[in-house]
A and B are shown apart, each in its own frame.
Chain A
Amino acid sequence: MPEPKRHDPILEIRGLRKSFGALAATDDVSLDLRPGEIHALIGPNGAGKSTLIKQIVGEIRPDAGSIRFEGQVIDGLDAAARARLGLARSFQVSSVIADFTALQNVMLAVAGASGAVFRFHRPALADRKLTEPALFHIEQAGLAGRHLVPAAALSHGERRKLEIAMALALRPRAFLLDEPMAGMGLEGGRQLTAILSDLRAEAPILLVEHDMDAVFALADRVSVLVYGRVIATGSVAEIRANPEVRRSYLGEEA
């Protein structure tokens, strides 16, 4: 296999299809995620954004099409294998280990990324190979000082940040973030916008988001998904000017 060039897409989605019964949730979707970019995926409720993310991470199988990640076809890999390759995901509805502290949650991510989970002897909390990176990523995600709080006791916004910290701990080659700002409020949203902007330096981001201010502030490129189809891809300015997008999605917001 030839060495991937620097500007080659990290993630290449080609001709992806997924139907639930008669409903085409993903309808011939092709999409790239390039190094260093934030690629926003927008579209109305039920457009198929989450379904697309789930196919990329391997949680559900597409009916047709193919996905390459860093030049490698990953269609045959399960979700755990894809995560270990560095596909880091956050969930639309926060998904954390509720009884674990924030620290333990992120330590789990560090352990998962290392591939070495079958260690029975040393107490995890005394394992600096786990705790040190975990604390670092907790700080990076803006949760410094909250690491000993059980995830269940964190606020909604803090749990969203915890998801970011877990994604960072996977040593990601790409982030797939499904509405990371949902329910964050104005101030929380602003904070998270700054964090996501920094995240771009770690790895490119495929960002599903309804908050248009955040999308237009962050995105290098935007793709618009409607009824499972990508109706437009382009820069923020192009998307704002696109008449079809304005009609079918942005409405008076544009």
Chain B
Amino acid sequence: MTLNRDTVVNLAILALLVATAIGAHVLGNGFTVTLATKAAIFGLAGVGLNLALGYGGLISFGHAAFFGIGGYVTGILASHAAAGTPVATLPFTVMGSNEMLGIWPMAMLAAGLAALVIGALSLRTWGVYFIMVTLAFAQMLYYFAISWPRYGGEDGLSFYVRNSFPGLNTFAPIQYFAICTTLLAVALVFTAVVTQSRFGLALQAARQNSQRTVALGIRPYAIRLTAFVLSGMIVGLAGSLYADLNRFVSPAMLSWHMSGEIMVFVILGGVGRLCGPVAGAALFILLEHVLGGVSDYWQALLGLLLLAIVLFAPGGLIGILTQRRRHA
């Protein structure tokens, strides 16, 4: 990899995030470490969405479904592990778990399966219909979670002990930050590799000119569905981490509001830019805590900022920092 301007900006963003957390840790400011962790997790969710939205042009307004599924899988497994009861006994016994290494694959698998079903159906539509269909699926899950009393219904599900990771103390904010940031880095490398591969070439081609892509013997549907599933799995992992951060999951993780927020991370940071969603999520959290302290109307200011970015800097933060348009 050559150290071009994009790479420098990407590394600088990650370095800033890590430096913030370490600095706060040294100063004994655990709250700020947790904020940085939240930024890493939201950034991970944004990186996941970016694969579908930015690279694939799939404007999903339903990615909260995968975020929430990842969260609920984590909460359900953890609460059963705490109670010592099996999650299911038929068709085979599934025990709870409080091991992150066991929970993450389950969360990603569940989110990936959901993405396969939702994607297979919604990718038959396009444009505004696609947006509505993905939204509808996520809302279905949201209402299902609300009306399912077994795992807390409307009130959500608390689990009192953060899940564990071998050799680490996940309660120490800086250690949990390290876990989340490492996974974020893995997801970034994964995205970089995949988007530069043959598959990534086809995905980005189908976004720009689907008719041409078909004329070259490539079917966009299968390509897009694959990207949608990978995207859902990454977002599911982010949901799992978020559940563990709060030791709590609730239907809010599945709501359209959450879908919108993940989309905001991507747009703020730069659609289709590798580290865009990380920058976007960090900025979002910064604004939430700086402006949120000044005025309850910070969301209105956020709206203005979004408007300004969309109108004047469609490349987002990364676009401003790298001073150039996106090339595939």
Contact = CB atoms under 8 A, between A and B. Distances in A.
Given A80-B214, A112-B216, A112-B217, A96 B197 contact: no
B197 A122 contact: yes
Contact of A108 (B196, B218, B226, B326): B218
Contacts of A80: 214, 217-219
Interface in B181-209: 193-194, 196-202, 204-205, 208-209
Instruction: Point out which of B197, B199, B216, B328 has the most chain A C-beta atoms below 10 A from its C-beta.
Output: B216
21 contacts: A59-B211, A59-B214, A59-B215, A80-B218, A83-B214, A83-B216, A95-B211, A97-B212, A98-B209, A99-B328, A100-B201, A108-B205, A108-B213, A112-B217, A113-B216, A118-B222, A119-B199, A120-B197, A121-B197, A123-B196, A170-B216
A104 B217 contact: no
B82 to A, nearest CB: 38
A108 B215 contact: no
A130 B198 contact: yes
A66 to B, nearest CB: 22
A197 to B, nearest CB: 23
A122 B199 CA distance: 10
Given A117-B223, A121-B197, 9 more contacts: A57-B215, A91-B212, A97-B212, A99-B326, A104-B328, A108-B218, A117-B218, A118-B199, A123-B193
Contacts of A4: none
Nearest to A113: B217
Interface of B: 193-194, 196-202, 204-205, 208-209, 211-219, 222-223, 226, 326-328
B77 to A, nearest CB: 29
B51 to A, nearest CB: 12
A225 interface: no
Contacts of B216: 83, 108-109, 111-113, 166, 170
Contacts of A111: 198, 201-202, 216, 218
B218 A97 contact: no
Interface in A76-91: 78-81, 83-84, 89, 91
